[in-house]
Amino acid sequence: MRADLITRITVCLRPFRAAGPRIEVERIGDKRVVHNYGHGGSGWSLSWGSSTIARDKAMAGGTREVAVIGCGALGLTSALLLQRAGARVTIYASERLSDTRSARATGSWSPDSRIADAARVSPDFPALWEQMARTSYAAHQTYVGQVGEPVSWRDLYLLRDKDEVERPDPPNAIDFIRLDDRLRDLVPRSHALTPDQHPFPVDEARRGTSMTFNVAELAHRLTTDFLLEGGHIETMTFHSPTDLSRLSQPVVVNCTGYGARALWNDQTITPVRGQIAWLPPQPEVRYSLSYRGVGVVPRPDGIVVQSYGDSEMFGYGIDHETPDRAEAEAAIATIAPLFARARNLP
């Protein structure tokens, strides 16, 4: 693993909302708008569950003509679910999924990754989150084992050295809510390994099982399914809510993700910057790992190397998407010694 093998560097701004995702109905002129955005780092993971709720709200008035704004993970899953419930759906977007921020996601099942501020959520949010997570988990499972591996299971190694120091959170840190215990009966748990059970030169290791999204293939599959089932995608850019008047459909599902900050002037959205350094794909590598604030996720389209720092505040409030080569090289330098000294890599 070397920095000179980097094929590209991509940056994504994740839309964090302290109160959690916005899934609610608003009247704009003669349109009934169902919002479905603001999922932090959990957009892919919660997509089917969140979009199921949005679908039900969109169809509550009996209409069968629905517009979806946005062609990312939430836009496509919302559109597919509406379509399969009997609606005639058109997606309006300035970008196709391959160009959206959804395409720059890490690709790991992470349903409570910076999903909300524990101090700001409503009392019913944990149950709502669990409903979304369980629905999504079941839907993603239907893609496991399919051609192209849109969703797969991988071993995940959690590695640690004894000299690592737990650093205190910075001042005014967000208390990001942790809800994974609510899925304890659902998701495989990690377990500690003895030194002879893993190849890595570290003091402590755990191995778990992680659901991984082959984002490129999953995006292609969702888009193809939507079009084959009668959906339409039209290129259109929206600058303000008043632009909705150009649409013929009486119901609009708004899945604009981080773009909702500008489009809807939603200042409750805070950007959380995340950067990926991409290395050439290695099909034989079938495991992910986490070590010293860096994650590695192998995918068919490349090996993802991402810094997430020593705090969940890493990248919080940073709104630029300019690639940082130094950050990418530092992440690879952190991980490289594991492979240089590893024995009998699986």
Question: Per residue in 153-182, pLDDT tens?
Answer: 999 999 999 988 777 777 789 999 999 999
Residue 241 is encoded by which pair of tokens?
């809510």
Average pLDDT over residues 271-284: 95
**DSSP structural state of residue 196:** G
Query: Model confidence at 318, in pLDDT bands (50, 70, 90)?
Result: very high
Q: E strand or H helix at 14, and its extent? A: strand 8-17
Query: Model confidence at 344, in pLDDT bands (50, 70, 90)?
Result: low
Average pLDDT over residues 319-344: 89
**Cα–Cα distance measured from residue 308 to residue 108, given in angstroms and rounded to the nearest whole number:** 13
Query: Model confidence at 183, in pLDDT bands (50, 70, 90)?
Result: very high
Name residues whose C-beta falls within 8 Å of residue 121's C-beta, 6 or more positions apart in sequence. 18, 19, 20, 177
pLDDT attached to residue 346:
47
pLDDT digits (tens, 9 = 90+) for 127-141: 999 999 999 999 999
pLDDT digits (tens, 9 = 90+) for 62-103: 889 999 999 999 999 999 999 999 999 999 999 988 889 999
Is the pLDDT confidence value at 53 over 70?
A: yes
CA distances from 90 to 68, 103, 184, 235, 249 (A): 6, 21, 38, 10, 9
Average pLDDT over residues 115-129: 96
> What pTM did the predictor assign?
0.93
Is the pLDDT confidence value at 341 over 80?
A: no
